[in-house]
Chain A
Amino acid sequence: MKGLKGSVTADRGQAEAAIAELLSPFGRTGGENPYAIHADLQECMQSLVGIIRTEGELKKALEEISILKQRLTRVTVQGGREFNPGWHLALDLHSMLSVSEAVTLGALERKESRGGHTRDDYPFADDHFGKVNVVLRRQGGQFTVKQEPLPEPPPELKALLQERK
């Protein structure tokens, strides 16, 4: 975003496609209830990507999230566009599912336990993961996971970190 200069332009076709996408939950009938998808996502993240994580559960969560993404394509809302919480939830679910997927992929990549991230299958902190950030990027709906090196901490901080161990 820092690289952006001036005003952003979009052609009419792009705008119309975006509007059609946003309004699509109104056009369907007999589909998925956004609140049901939301509740299932909460249950999935709570039980499989919770406080104590394992590889098996994280992989299961990815499968469930992909099913939820499928269900979201069939989401249906009733009523009109003004003050419609069901519609807003249907739109928010896209972001919620993206964030859930990113969290799960990141947790799978971090094969260690540190701070708020606890892996039952890797119970100790790994020095390697102290030196990298796990970075997720998405293009065309597909996430890529990459480890990128962190700048070395200044010596005085490094000394403090060593003492803590």
Chain B
Amino acid sequence: MAASPEVTMRVWRGDAKGGAFKDYRVPVQEGMVVLDVIHTIQATQAGDLACRWNCKAGKCGSCSAEINGKPRLMCMTRMDTFDPGETVTVSPIKTFPLYRDLATDVSFNFERAKEMPAFKPRPKEADGTRRMQQEDVERSQEFRKCIECFLCQNVCHVIRDHPENKRGFAGPRFLMRIAELEMHPLDTNDRLELAQTKAGLGYCNITKCCTEVCPEHIHITDNAIIPLKERLVTEKYDPIVWLARKITGKS
């Protein structure tokens, strides 16, 4: 058997104070993904190389990184997608504060998640059931595929180079969560006010970067954010609705 070919991995090493890319030569076997190569580096060259991972199957959303500048899951990026001899650069997701190496502090997302009003179903019907149309159920099913890898949050230009916007913007993942619950036929909570104010729906100018990087191929922009924007406009800016509100005094 021929010796396995080697690849040069350029991996970010450092913490919040600073750091640099470091090159590692690693033997690569058939079928390996970027995460496997990172693990090989840990096992043989740099035992303290920090990175998050769990399932190795693209379902836990832990191993998000930027591979050759593209936000991706390390476990779902096969090494054979690169040209032979190509240097593969792996850096931490940029939008969140760096702990060390490839591990970042994504607590921004958990804070935003806490602000989402939970699902609150309407009362049961007289016969003790709740009925929904299949069509209404299907609309939000797509959003349930989200694995919370936060690649969409990472790539979103509203916060990527503008940490000051993080205060007033929930990011694609949570705008999608609002859309999901707003579309739910049984839900009674109103999240449009949140979408308009604290979640910063208006900041999104639908460049679709989030959709492009989503490993679950959810149509975040087309199926969640744009319908949510439309809903908000209908509710808050429709002139007839506005006039009716003025007259009746109801909000």
Contacts and interface: CB of A to CB of B under 8 A. Distances in A.
Please say whether chains A and B are actual partners in one complex: yes
Interface of A: 33-36, 39, 77-80, 82-87, 89
B43 interface: yes
A87 B15 CA distance: 17
Given A83-B100, A83-B103, A39 B47 contact: no
B101 interface: yes
Given A35-B42, A85-B42, A86-B42, A77 B47 contact: yes
Interface string B25-60: 000000000000000001110111111000000000
Contact of A35 (B44, B51, B100): B44
27 contacts: A33-B44, A33-B47, A34-B47, A35-B44, A35-B47, A36-B43, A39-B43, A77-B47, A78-B46, A78-B48, A79-B47, A80-B48, A82-B50, A82-B99, A82-B100, A83-B99, A83-B100, A83-B101, A84-B48, A84-B50, A85-B47, A85-B48, A85-B51, A86-B42, A86-B48, A87-B47, A87-B48
Given A39-B43, A78-B48, 17 more contacts: A33-B43, A35-B42, A35-B43, A35-B44, A77-B47, A78-B46, A82-B15, A83-B100, A84-B47, A84-B48, A84-B50, A85-B47, A86-B42, A86-B48, A87-B47, A87-B48, A89-B47
Contacts of B50: 82-85
Interface of B: 15, 42-44, 46-51, 99-101, 103
Contacts of A79: 46-48
A84 B44 CA distance: 14
Q: Which residue among A36, A78, A83, A87 has the maximum number of chain B CB atoms within 10 Å of its CB?
A: A83
B126 to A, nearest CB: 44
A161 B44 CA distance: 52
Nearest to A87: B48
A77 B46 CA distance: 9
Contacts of A77: 47-48
Contacts of A82: 15, 50, 99-100
A147 B52 CA distance: 42
A36 B51 CA distance: 19
Contacts of B42: 35, 85-86
B14 to A, nearest CB: 12
A85 B48 CA distance: 6
Contacts of B43: 33, 35-36, 39
